[in-house]
Structure 1
Amino acid sequence: MNHLLEKIKQKNASAFTHSGKFHADDVFSAALLLYLNPEITITRGNQVPENYEGLVFDIGRGQYDHHQKNSRIRDNGVPYAAFGLLWEKLGPEILGEELALKFDESFVQPLDINDNTGEKNELATLIGNFNPGWDSKSSNDEAFFQAVSVAGMILENKFERYLGNERADRRVEEVLTEHAASLASGDTPAENTNILILPEFIPCQKRLSETNIAFVIFPSNRGGYCIQPQKKEYSMNYKCSFPSSWLGLEGEELSLVTGLKSAAFCHKGGFLMTCGTLE
């Protein structure tokens, strides 16, 4: 049972962090708590109140602070900051164990490194820029919660993207199974072995790099159909590319050179072509 999560989700839950200048570390920590409980009260101050019973982070030298000499370091050598310490306990509850580890590596650790070492990080800089200027009369706390609001939107979008990719992986496996069954039964012509027709767009490039699928076709949200070449595994090169004479053309020009009446557009970079009909 996750006692930290229970504490955060209590009806009158509260948390305390330091006042003054804020960084991506305490901002994203606060955003994480508000993601889990939008009603939690977060207070800032120079010193943790005596006998405080709420959650304390990034101050106080407790479990979710990292300013003490014996603060924790990951096995890979990356030091924890408050965000990483909280994510370690709460991330699996949001994304599951495997995705939480991936999120830690790609998103949390760079922010933890920035907070501990000052190593440049563009997201940390953007969050830090919410701090009032040196001669500003505006409220530091108000600026903090503005930054937390932005960080919260970033977290929500990142979480949905991670979970969406996981759903996509499962859907791609279903489609590949159906494709294999269609080939085995003879319902799909043999010449279409390397072409996968998707019922809807599904992020699948990484998974398909491991297969012999060279092109995917799927309905376009602008009408008609999109065609995408697939890259070779561990390579930036396509398994099969559109002819160079097609690249950058559209409309009648593209129809003439391809022989496809409904050909509409072929990107000059060669990563997308559209047609009006599936045929």
Structure 2
Amino acid sequence: MSEYTPIGLDNGNQPVKALTHSGNFHVDETLGYVILHYALAPAGDLRGRVLGTAPQDRLIFSRSRVPAQIQEADIVFDVGGIHAPPKGRYDHHMRDKPLRDDGIPFSAAGLLWKDYGLAAIRNILPNDLDEATLAAIWQAVDKSLIIPVDQDDNGVVKMGRLSLADIVSACSPPWDTAELYGADMAQQKETEGFANAAQAVASHLRNSIDRTRASLKATDRVLSAHKQAEDKRILLMDTGMPTEKVIFEHNLPVVYVVSPAGSAQWNVKAIPPVRGDFGQRVSLPDAWAGLEGQALAQVSGVADAKFAHPARFICGAASREGALEMARRALEIDAALNQTP
């Protein structure tokens, strides 16, 4: 992260003029604008600021290729031909372009995320989080969202169909807009397109940051629950949350996850052999498959058993104790079937 104080983050309230290029827009400068919005003026009107319909706030944003306007701006990104972050210059289109430590070239979004990402996260997440957690969120979002944007914008790896890059591109007016409506209307539609793209990207960034926060919280809880488990093959969670990612990232020997699924049901879910794959490390007993209610209770020996999916990857009971008993019995049945004569 930054080794200097980026422009506008000195705890002052002075207006900051930020500028990117006009014309065709892409995901990196759109995301760059969104990062600056949340870092410097999160209470402002993100879309209205672009359209010029919102009251002026601290962040004054414009899109232009006019040299005099570029020179006048405090922060210039994705245009201008200069990479000098301490001076507020965040272009990356020069021959000697800025690179990450691993050699991946930065986009404007990546450069701005490096300097303004933490401030944006602090303003997006209302809760007081410690610096270590903020740094972990910054790193995770950098990996999952910012690096793919860097790669896409620099022609390294495309983000793919229906990606954030595609959503931004879809906000651009069609190629023949000027031909159909005239130059002035085409420029207006382009500005509206950028405003629409910024709104979509802002929603995605907010959700990505909040989901990353929740994912880190889930990691702590899963690891704690696994540490306390009597049988390390059965993970008991008192609240429903994503567990599979943590199980595979930390190589936990979990076979079944037991967790609540509403006010009167606890489920037993089998973990697949490979993350995101079909199949199970240990399938639920074949004799349970497709049974419900009393029929399942009789076969399983668990009085409040409620259902077992025909594909044998999930079953449930009315109580925590019943679900735990189903998991234990499923493991016992599997062990008996696989005993060496």
TM-score (norm 1): 0.81
Other-structure match for 1:33: 36
How far 1:211 sits from its partner (Å)?
3.5
Other-structure match for 1:274: 316
In structure 1, distance between residues paired with 2:292 and 2:117: 46
In structure 1, distance between residues paired with 2:212 and 2:239: 19
How far 1:113 sits from its partner (Å)?
1.7
Q: Alpha carbon RMSD of aligned pairs, Å?
A: 3.1
In structure 1, distance between residues paired with 2:263 and 2:103: 47
Q: Decide whether the 8 Å contact of 2:19 with 2:73 is kept in 1.
A: no
Other-structure match for 1:114: 152
Other-structure match for 1:154: 204
Change in CA separation of 1:125 and 1:260 when aligned onto 2, cut-off 3 Å: same
In structure 1, distance between residues paired with 2:156 and 2:23: 18
Change in CA separation of 1:24 and 1:250 when aligned onto 2, cut-off 3 Å: farther
Q: Decide whether the 8 Å contact of 1:73 with 1:80 is kept in 2.
A: yes
Determine whether 1:3 maps to 2:41: no
Other-structure match for 1:59: 79
How far 1:76 sits from its partner (Å)?
2.3
Q: Decide whether the 8 Å contact of 1:8 with 1:14 is kept in 2.
A: no
SS of the residue 1:3 aligns to: coil
Work out which of the residue numbers 137, 140, 148 in structure 1 matches 2:190. Answer: 140
Matches within 5 A, 1:1-279: 2-4=5-7, 6=9, 10=13, 12-36=15-39, 37-38=41-42, 39=44, 40-48=59-67, 49=69, 51-63=71-83, 64-93=90-119, 94=121, 96-117=134-155, 119-121=157-159, 122=161, 123=163, 124-136=165-177, 137=181, 139-177=189-227, 179=228, 183=230, 194-209=233-248, 210-221=251-262, 223-231=264-272, 238-247=280-289, 250=292, 254-255=296-297, 258-278=300-320, 279=322
How far 1:59 sits from its partner (Å)?
0.8
Q: Decide whether the 8 Å contact of 1:47 with 1:60 is kept in 2.
A: no
How far 1:222 sits from its partner (Å)?
6.4
TM-score (norm 2): 0.67
**Structure 1 residue runs without a partner (length 5+):** 184-191
Change in CA separation of 1:248 and 1:109 when aligned onto 2, cut-off 3 Å: farther
| Consecutive aligned runs of 4 or more in structure 1 exceeding 6 Å deviation | none
Other-structure match for 1:188: none
- 62-71 or 263-272, which moves further after superposition? 263-272
- 108-117 or 260-269, which moves further after superposition? 260-269
In structure 2, distance between residues paired with 1:211 and 1:118: 34
How far 1:170 sits from its partner (Å)?
2.0
In structure 2, distance between residues paired with 1:8 and 1:150: 28
Change in CA separation of 1:201 and 1:143 when aligned onto 2, cut-off 3 Å: same
**Structure 2 residue runs without a partner (length 5+):** 45-58, 84-89, 122-132, 182-187, 323-341
In structure 1, distance between residues paired with 2:70 and 2:33: 21
Paired residue type of 2:80: G
Deviations 1:107-160 (A, max 9, x none): 212221221227532321221111001233461111101000000000011001
Deviations 1:45-93 (A, max 9, x none): 1225165242111111233111111111223232111011111223345
Deviations 1:11-38 (A, max 9, x none): 5333111111111111111121222223
Aligned length: 268
Q: Decide whether the 8 Å contact of 1:7 with 1:13 is kept in 2.
A: no
Paired residue type of 2:17: S
